Chain A
Amino acid sequence: MANLANVLLRTLILDAKAYQDWRERPNLFLRGIALIVVVTLVASLISFAVNLVNRVQPVTPAEVDQEIRDAMEMQFQWNPAWQDPQMRQMMEQTLDVIVPMVVEISRIRAPLPQGVSGFFQAAGNWLSGAAGALGGWLFYGALVLFTVNLLGGGARLREFYGMVALYAIPGLLAFFQPVDCIGPLLAFVGTIWGIVVYVKATSEVTGLDGVRSTIAVLAPAVALVFLAFLVVLAWVLWLVIIF
């Protein structure tokens, strides 16, 4: 176990020997799955706990009032349509109705007690995050491997996935995400670090050099953004033509 932790830590500093050690372990694909699931669940542990407490606790009118007021304040500040004084007055009057409405809705009971419902909802969100991370790993990995093949590299599917799963480790920094100010910054650093590890792992498993590996890892993201833009453009053009 200590050896495994050592190998995983050394992949963070891009030690080529550590990547080799990881690659030689049996059931690499299964290890990759385990790594992504564990990292995602650990990284979102605090969010899960906060979510659980929020869902289990009864809603108080003061909290609802504060949350809605905060959201409205944002609108008053940034949304030009809400800056009209008449509009502001109407929204403030509406708030007096919305707060008791939200409180009453939150008191509508399900057949099982609120504690059980809250636990299942929070746990469901938590597990869904891990499933989403696995899905993203498989989907994006397929695009990267496709690009790798176009660039003259190659790897077996399960080896490739097992290797690039190492990108998840820096994502542990997202554990601190709920902490004000520093949390989102740490999560961002983890994301960038993860991309660097992804590039290194791609290079090690496919035999491509650093530049080609970087292109292989980043090109699918650029292509997806471009594709989304084209689809929206085509859809808008189509609507303009027919209507």
Chain B
Amino acid sequence: MDSIVGSLRLGWEALLLKDEAYERMRDAADPVVKGLILIVIVGLAVGLLAFVGDVMEWATTPNLAEIKDTVFAYLTQMPWWQEAARNTEFAQIFQGWYDFGWDIASALGTLSIGEAAAGIILIPLGLIFRWLLYGLVAYLFARWLGGTANLSETLGVLALAVAPQALNMLTVFPYVELGGLVAAWGLLCAYLGLKTAHNLSWYRALWATLLPFILAFVLLALVACLGSVILAVLVRGG
């Protein structure tokens, strides 16, 4: 119990960007365990409250299928439709694309209760996965830039950067969007954690914080470029 309370207290102080919290985590006997406890608690709390928020949002959202049918019924009464629908092939193709568009909107914009419930497990797992992946890459960059902390200490302080995820608990209120708040706050915490744990200067700590994201961005950009080249070849070939 003490360990849980201690981890939560560290998380709160880390959220307020107090250097001492990161120092205490770095010097703790078991920073990885402490960090993992914090992430699991935050993840479960966020998952549970987000589930409540999702259910509320579902209960306050009109049925999308009913909207789709209503729009289509009126579309077919519009003057342009009367002319275009003389061509039966056009009407069929239009109906196909119309259904496809609504299917995408439905997949992206609405959430089933089952998907929302899965979040209770998937959110903590996702946080742990991101923590381990980012922690490992940031550790490598920090050491490359002259950092002194070991992997356990790095993961410990970076677990504190998960503390801003607790703000996602606000999504218990439906329709609340946090935008980039959690990401920006998390980056600041990660910067402070790497700077403190590795005894880095401000600009080296900044690079150690951002390089994992830059690397991910470069990889994604390369994949996107490759994808667009393949698309271009296909378009030209067709």
Contacts and interface: CB of A to CB of B under 8 A. Distances in A.
Specify the main secondary structure of chain B where it touches its partner.
helix
Interface string A82-118: 0000000010011001101100110011111000110
Contacts of B70: 101, 104-105, 108
B83 to A, nearest CB: 10
Contacts of B16: 27, 29-30, 158
B67 to A, nearest CB: 6
A175 B67 CA distance: 35
Interface stretch (A72-80, A130-138, A211-219): A130-138
Contacts of A226: none
B17 A29 contact: yes
Contacts of B59: 110-112
A131 B170 contact: yes
B67 A108 contact: yes
Contact of A90 (B71, B80, B181): B80
Contacts of A158: 16-18
B78 interface: yes
Contacts, number: 115
Specify the main secondary structure of chain A where it touches its partner.
helix
Nearest to A156: B19
Interface string A132-157: 10110011001000100100001011
A146 B206 contact: yes
Given A94-B80, A108-B67, A161-B17, A138 B184 contact: yes
A108 B63 contact: yes
Contacts of A101: 70-71, 74
B185 to A, nearest CB: 6
A124 interface: yes
Interface residues of B, number: 45
Contacts of A124: 173-177
A7 interface: no
Contacts of B88: none
Interface string B16-56: 11110000000000000000000000000000000000001
Given A94-B79, A157-B192, A242-B229, A110 B61 contact: yes
B77 interface: yes
B187 interface: yes
Given A108-B70, A124-B173, A238-B228, A157 B188 contact: yes
A242 B178 contact: no
Please give me the 3 A-B residue pairs with the lowest Cβ-Cβ distance, nearest first.
A124-B175, A135-B181, A117-B60
Interface of A: 27, 29-30, 90, 93-94, 97-98, 100-101, 104-105, 108-112, 116-117, 120-121, 123-125, 127-128, 131-132, 134-135, 138-139, 142, 146, 149, 154, 156-158, 161, 238-239, 242-243
26 contacts: A90-B79, A90-B80, A94-B80, A101-B74, A105-B62, A108-B63, A108-B66, A110-B62, A112-B60, A120-B56, A120-B175, A123-B173, A123-B175, A124-B175, A127-B173, A131-B170, A135-B178, A135-B180, A135-B181, A138-B181, A138-B184, A158-B18, A161-B17, A238-B228, A242-B232, A243-B235
